């Protein structure tokens, strides 16, 4: 039984291919973005894993997201097992969607206003205390994420247009320590938590090898995290939303808040962290998907 990996960036595949091979699992990539789809044909047997990325348009794959929407609907209608399926794709594609779901589940999230099209961005920013953050609703890898110290500063700025027409204005969450934490979960289990250095890393925090910065590593394993109470809450959220594989990002503030602000359902694991961690993200994924295929 084969594992079909749906995405659009073959550069991200080697660590997963190596993990599937090491586990003895048959696997193939399905690169989305162009092609044909015969809606009357039955999908090939196997388990499907979608890791479509919200930033795929930045790699010249403008149609990859809508292609994935069509393919996942087709797979699910045919009864195929899809990990990170049709609903999860919409979570990946919209931070407004993520924050709404997190908030409804009782998580502390940053105060956020979504501004659509030529809506009143400055007016929205004026409702938040300064500094504040502006970001794209559909992004990833820090796309369009900028911090402003005043509405005037925002008024003078030239912003990249968001691909879905939605810009978020968001409370700036001041970290108590100069890092954010990302909690990786696979198949109902914690992989590990990593920290990403915000002092040097700024807002562009893509953990893939392909995005690695020069100099000392920006990413580190966060030790002694397994018993942190947020882990069980993220696992419960993932289970309720049918999320098989994800990284949850949070910031801890000086006044004791733990603020969750991003869910990544197309995680790339950092090689420096993988080298020292007690568990491996790609290996856990390979085992999880093999288990799903064996059902
Ligand atoms: N509201 C915020 N307050 C403080 N820092 C933020 C905030 N939002 C984002 N950041 C910083 O910018 C980075 C990228 O933002 P994020 O929302 O995770 O977008 P992406 O999906 O592009 O990763 C975060 O990891 C964090 O360091
Ligand atoms: Mg992020």
Atom of ligand 1 at shortest distance to CA of 171? 1
Among 154, 171, 188, residue at a domain's last position = 171
User: CATH number for the domain including 158?
Assistant: 3.30.1490
Q: In a mutational test of the pocket of ligand 1, which residue from 262, 267, 268 has the highest number of ligand atoms less than 8 Å from its CB?
A: 262
Nearest ligand by distance to the CA of 261: 1
Output the pLDDT for position 206. Answer: 60
Residue 108 Cα to ligand 1 midpoint, Å, equals: 15
What atom in ligand 1 is closest to the CA of residue 172? Answer: 3
pLDDT of residue 201: 60
Per-residue pLDDT reduced to its tens digit, 67-108: 999 999 999 999 999 999 999 999 999 999 999 999 999 999
- Shared-domain flag, residues 252 and 208: yes
Q: Is residue 98 part of a domain?
A: no
| The last residue of a domain, from among 58, 92, 126 | 92
Residues 129 and 214 in one domain: no
- Of all protein residues, whose CA lies closest to atom 20 belonging to ligand 1? 140
Q: Which residue's entry shows tokens 């509405």?
A: 151
Secondary structure (DSSP) of 241-290: TT-SEEEEEEEEBTTS-EEEEEEESS----HHHHHH-SS-HHHHHHHHHH
Domain range for 250 is 175-294
145 lines ligand 1 (CB under 6 A): yes
**Burial track 182-220 (b if 16+ CB lie within 10 A, e otherwise):** bbbbbbeebbbbbbbbbeebeeebbbbbeeeeeeeebbb
- Per-residue model confidence (pLDDT) at position 141: 83
Residue 153 counted as domain residue: yes
Helix, strand or coil for residue 10? helix
Q: How many domains does the chain have?
A: 3
**Residues 78 and 131 placed together within one structural domain of the fold:** no
Give the tens place of pLDDT for each residue, 13-30: 999 999 999 999 999 999
Same domain, 197 and 240: yes
Residue 100 belongs to some domain of the structure: no
Residue 197 beta carbon below 6 angstroms from any ligand 1 atom: no
131, pLDDT greater than 90? yes
77 and 186 together in one domain: no
pLDDT for 211: 56
Of the residues 32, 63, 92, which one is the last residue of a structural domain? Answer: 92
What was the pLDDT predicted at 215? Answer: 63
> What is the average pLDDT value for the chain, to the nearest integer?
94
Does 267 lie in the same domain as 218? yes
Which CATH number belongs to the domain containing residue 64 in this structure? 3.40.50.20
pLDDT of 210 above 60: no
- The answer to whether residue 107 sits within a structural domain is no
Q: What percent of the chain has pLDDT over 70?
A: 95
pLDDT higher than threshold 80 for residue 204: no
Does residue 106 form part of some domain? no
The pLDDT confidence band at residue 142, using thresholds 50, 70 and 90, is: confident
Residue 228's domain is classified under what CATH number?
3.30.470.20
Question: Is residue 167 located within the same domain as residue 180?
Answer: no
- Please name the residue that has the structure tokens 């990325």: 53
pLDDT band at residue 198, thresholds of 50, 70 and 90?
confident
Do 198 and 132 share a structural domain? no
Instruction: Give CA–CA dist 117/44, Å, rounded.
Output: 40
Residue 237 has a pLDDT of 98
C-alpha 289/C-alpha 202 separation (Å) is: 34
- pTM confidence score: 0.95
Residue 204: inside a domain: yes
Residue 154's pLDDT is what? 97
User: Which ligand is in closest contact with the Cα of 135?
Assistant: 1
The band of 202, judged by pLDDT with boundaries at 50, 70 and 90, is low
The verdict on 241 and 228 lying in the same domain is: yes
């Amino acid at each position: 039984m084969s594992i079909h990996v749906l995405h659009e960036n073959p550069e991200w595949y080697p660590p997963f291919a190596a993990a599937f091979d090491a586990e003895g699992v048959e696997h193939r990539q399905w690169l989305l973005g162009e092609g044909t789809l015969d809606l009357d044909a039955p999908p090939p047997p196997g388990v499907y894993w979608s890791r479509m990325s919200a930033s795929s348009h930045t790699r010249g794959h403008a149609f990859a997201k809508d292609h994935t929407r069509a393919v996942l609907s087709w797979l699910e209608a045919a009864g195929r097992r899809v990990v990170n399926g049709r609903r999860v794709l919409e979570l990946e594609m919209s931070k407004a969607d993520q924050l709404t779901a997190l908030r409804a589940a009782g998580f502390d999230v940053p105060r956020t206003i979504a501004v659509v099209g030529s809506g009143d961005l400055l007016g929205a920013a004026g409702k938040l205390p300064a500094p504040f953050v502006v970001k794209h609703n559909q992004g990833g890898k820090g796309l369009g994420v900028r911090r402003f110290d005043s509405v005037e500063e925002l008024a003078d700025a030239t912003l990249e247009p968001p691909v879905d027409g939605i810009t978020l204005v968001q409370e700036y969450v001041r970290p108590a320590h100069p890092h954010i934490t990302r909690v990786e979960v696979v198949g109902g289990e914690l992989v590990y938590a990593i920290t990403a250095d915000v002092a040097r890393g700024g807002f562009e925090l893509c953990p893939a090898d392909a995005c690695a910065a020069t100099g000392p590593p920006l990413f580190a394993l966060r030790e002694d995290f397994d018993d942190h109470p947020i882990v069980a809450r993220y696992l419960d959220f993932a289970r309720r939303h049918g999320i098989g594989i994800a990284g949850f990002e949070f910031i801890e503030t000086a006044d004791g808040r733990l603020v969750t602000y991003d869910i990544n359902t197309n995680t790339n694991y950092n090689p420096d962290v993988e080298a020292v961690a007690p568990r491996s993200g790609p290996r856990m994924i390979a085992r999880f998907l093999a288990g799903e295929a064996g059902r």
